[in-house]
């Protein structure tokens, strides 16, 4: 009896992503600093909006404008308004910011990337910085609204501006409750003694429970170690290094093998320069306090109480 010929199974072709899925994939890659996905097969207005988003994710805000893919319509007007804002003189920025329409995720992303540079350069201060943050909070993707929220809260904390904190909390709504609670805890630390942390002294690799004022410095720089070089710490500055894995319970008295390896490698680097630092192997210890974004610079007063907390977007680039 002859057997029937074998059938070749059909090739399964993954369905093309929707416009929303394509946008989400690009924004996720941007957020994690990964290579952006190739442009999917979208049609019409969806394809143009995706190209605008990709352009705003890849242009250099210090020297160029994102290419406008729209030929006509309100999307073109919005893209041109954004491009005009990015090259506007400082005395026109407030009006341009207020008037800017933000209907697409690309416009919000460009506004975020460009505004960050302005803040770091000192061009956005006080009311102008808060206006820029408020525009990010009011429209755009979930990602850029989250960026705007984090930035606004970090600066409210750094400036100890409780009125600004309250207004940002109202604008954020209930979806950001956990983030808001973290900053509430940090506001509660201002003016009081620092909490106890379990830290491993480097290069000795011995643990101790200490408050920040017991580190013998009036400034505490909390920041992971860069692979290239150790930071240049000014006099009177202690360095706490959050672990790259940070998987230890905040009360554990011994390090896992991975943390031991990490600590020993840091100890070797420090010994070569005659310096010391503290290893913090517990992410939970920081998160429970609200210390969620590095770098963090904490300054203490003459009594050893916490005077200022500059975290994340509001922290200086260097200690």
Domains of the chain: 19-189 (no CATH), 197-314 (3.40.30)
Q: Is residue 1 predicted with pLDDT exceeding 70?
A: no
CB 55 within 8 A of CB 106: yes
* For the ranges 6-20, 207-221, 238-252, the one whose mean pLDDT is highest: 207-221
d(CA 303, CA 273): 31
Q: Is residue 8 predicted with pLDDT exceeding 90?
A: no
The candidate with the shortest Cα–Cα distance to 207, out of 153, 243, 171, is: 243
pLDDT at 13: 56
Instruction: Identify the band that residue 7 occupies on the pLDDT scale cut at 50, 70 and 90.
Output: low
pLDDT at 272: 82
pLDDT at 11: 53
Percent of the chain with pLDDT over 70: 95
Give the CB-side neighbour count of residue 184, counting CA atoms within 13 A: 9
pLDDT at 3: 46
Mean pLDDT of 263-274: 90
d(CA 42, CA 38): 12
DSSP string, 144-209: HHHHHHHHHHHHHHHTT-HHHHHHHHHHH-GGGHHHHHHHHHHHHHTTSPPPPEEEEEETTTEEEE
pLDDT at 26: 98
pLDDT at 2: 45
Q: Is 126 helix (H, G, I), strand (E, B) or coil?
A: helix
Q: Is residue 172 predicted with pLDDT exceeding 60?
A: yes
């Amino acid at each position: 009896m002859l057997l029937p010929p074998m059938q070749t199974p059909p090739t399964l072709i993954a369905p093309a992503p929707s416009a929303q899925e394509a946008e989400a994939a690009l924004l996720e890659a941007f957020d994690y600093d990964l290579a952006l996905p190739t442009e999917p097969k979208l049609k019409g207005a969806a394809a143009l909006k995706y190209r605008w988003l990709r352009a705003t994710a890849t242009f250099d805000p210090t020297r160029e404008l994102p290419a406008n893919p729209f030929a006509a319509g309100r999307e073109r007007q919005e893209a041109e308004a954004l491009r005009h804002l990015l090259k506007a003189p400082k005395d026109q920025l407030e009006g341009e910011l207020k008037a800017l329409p933000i209907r697409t995720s690309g416009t919000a992303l460009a506004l975020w990337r460009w505004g960050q540079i302005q803040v770091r350069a000192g061009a956005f201060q006080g009311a102008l910085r808060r206006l820029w943050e408020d525009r990010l909070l009011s429209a755009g993707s979930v990602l850029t609204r989250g960026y705007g929220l984090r930035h606004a809260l970090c600066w409210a904390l750094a400036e100890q501006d409780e009125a600004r904190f309250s207004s940002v909390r109202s604008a954020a709504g209930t979806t950001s409750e956990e983030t808001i609670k973290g900053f509430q805890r940090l506001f509660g630390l201002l003016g009081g003694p620092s909490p106890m942390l379990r830290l491993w002294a480097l290069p000795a690799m011995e643990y101790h429970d200490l408050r920040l004022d017991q580190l013998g410095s009036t400034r505490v720089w909390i920041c992971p170690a860069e692979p290239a070089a150790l930071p240049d710490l000014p006099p009177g500055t202690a360095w706490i290094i959050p672990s790259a894995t940070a998987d230890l319970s905040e009360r554990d008295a011994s390090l896992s093998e991975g943390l031991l390896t990490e600590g020993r490698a840091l100890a070797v680097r420090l010994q070569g320069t005659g310096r010391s630092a503290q290893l913090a192997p517990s992410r939970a210890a920081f998160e429970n306090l609200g210390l969620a974004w590095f770098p963090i610079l904490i300054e203490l007063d003459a009594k050893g109480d916490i005077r200022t907390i500059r975290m994340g977007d509001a922290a200086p680039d260097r200690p």
